[in-house]
Homo-oligomer: A and B are copies of this chain.
Amino acid sequence: MNVLQGLRVVEGSAFVAAPLSGMTLAQMGADVIRFDGVGGGIDFHRWPCLADGTSLFWMGMNKGKRSVAVDVRRPEGQEIVTRLIVDPRPDGGILLSNFPARGWLADERLRALRDDLVYVNIIGNPDGSTAVDYTVNPSSGFAYATGPAGGAMPTNHVLPAWDIATGLTATTGLLAAERHRSRTGEGQLVTLSLADVAFAMVANLGYLAQAQVLGESRPPIGNDMYGAFGRDFATKDGRRVMVVAISLKQWEALVDATGIGPQLGAIEQALGVDLRREGDRFAARDALAAFIAPWFATRTFATVTETFDAHGVCWGPYQTFRQLVDEDWRCSPRNPVFTDLEQPGIGVVRTPGSPLHFTALGREQPRGAPRLGEHTVEILADDLGMTSSEIGALHDAGIVASPPS
């Protein structure tokens, strides 16, 4: 039993935000049916891929869902998906999509068939024009705040962070709208713009007000933390680590571990700062780093690890993706969030379940992604009550597809 057991969501999606939103629900136990075209949608071969075009991305974004492959360019295909969307079960009637809400996916058309439909539609710009994470991020201001200090060239972050925030926000909206429906009987269209999520977040973090009220655009400061002491250092054996001291306790742990206590008075005097203050530690960060760097440069990563953990320093190692999967216990089957799972056509894959632990219900067992169309037959038969000859005819006509057996 998982926490959203019984909830039934139809997902029409591509790329990151909407698939992630649906997967978040699936990993909490919802029955999420993703529909794709016969042969897969626009993201079916999204990178990273194997040499044969099998997408590791698609596999990652669709774990725990059921897959139905239907040609929705044809009326018969649209009819099948429509019936799934407006299915009358009380916990059904939920559509999650980043496709344009028009034509056969228009809200009014679907709502005429089930008036308490919960329909979450993710759009790009608030006026409905196209925007993707890659075009919104440059406009957010963050690219000019990321990268080396003094740099004039913008640096995109590579993580599709706005897509992620949008997908998760969509999930909160879907659950809130479903809650409202269960209490009032009222369904609704819920729209969410990627650009709105991004720019609202810039405001939420205070950077918009900093620009508006103070006239300042926060500049890039490399890997330094903003407003407190934190930065990266190189160890004797060529590893890099990030060290953070936000609270006074964290600062004292760092001072103890690195033995720089005796030097602090000189820094305070020279720069006129009080290093017990968070903002003053930020102001004095270059001087502090100059005193701390030699400590790292004369110690191996193993020694740094041991010393920092003994002192309770807040820190983390820099790792490549390979180091993360090969060396970090948090990303290994020692952590119940991860398991090694055989994924058909790919091999053994380190696979996460939901990071949420619902302690009364136990952890979700991590599940893999379906093959494209893996549940086509099951869904047509069990959910739509079709006979095997009807299902056979749909296959023959190329309106639906199942994987080669």
A residues whose Cβ falls under 8 Å from a Cβ of B: 3-4, 16, 20, 23-24, 28, 42, 45-50, 55-61, 63, 125-126, 130-132, 134-148, 154-161, 164-165, 168-169, 171-173, 175-180, 182, 186-193, 195-197, 199-218, 220, 222-223, 225-228, 230, 232, 240-242, 244, 246-247, 278-279, 282, 312, 314-326, 328, 330-331, 335-338, 346-361
Contact = CB atoms under 8 A, between A and B. Distances in A.
B24 A172 contact: yes
A196 B337 contact: yes
Indicate the member of A159, A182, A218, A225 with the most B CB atoms within 10 Å: A159
B154 A240 contact: yes
Contacts of A354: 200
Contacts of A320: 141, 144, 211, 217
A102 to B, nearest CB: 15
- Tell me if A's interface is mostly helix, strand, loop or mixed: mixed
Nearest to A53: B279
A57 B205 contact: yes
Contacts of A169: 24, 168, 355-356
Contacts of A164: 161, 164-165, 201
A370 B212 CA distance: 20
Contacts of A195: 330
Contacts of A188: 358-361
Nearest to A187: B360
20 contacts: A16-B205, A48-B216, A50-B213, A56-B209, A59-B206, A61-B204, A134-B244, A138-B317, A139-B319, A139-B324, A140-B324, A142-B157, A142-B159, A156-B223, A168-B172, A182-B182, A188-B358, A190-B358, A209-B346, A217-B322
A41 to B, nearest CB: 11
Given A130-B314, A358-B173, A324 B179 contact: no
B42 A217 contact: no
B246 A132 contact: yes
Indicate how many identical chains form the complex.
2
A46 B246 CA distance: 10
B147 A155 contact: yes
A234 to B, nearest CB: 10
B321 A141 contact: yes
A335 B208 CA distance: 15
A158 B16 CA distance: 21
Contact of A172 (B137, B171, B232, B350): B171
Indicate the member of A63, A141, A335 with the most B CB atoms within 10 Å: A141
Given A132-B314, A242-B156, A352 B176 contact: no
B161 A157 contact: yes
Contact of A28 (B126, B172, B202): B172
Contacts of A60: 203-206, 208-209
A169 B353 CA distance: 13
By Cβ-Cβ distance, the 3 closest A-B pairs, closest first, are A47-B227, A135-B316, A188-B360
A154 B155 CA distance: 12
B172 A175 contact: yes
A213 B349 contact: yes
A222 B355 CA distance: 30
Given A172-B28, A278-B45, A314 B135 contact: yes
A316 B172 contact: no
A348 B214 CA distance: 11
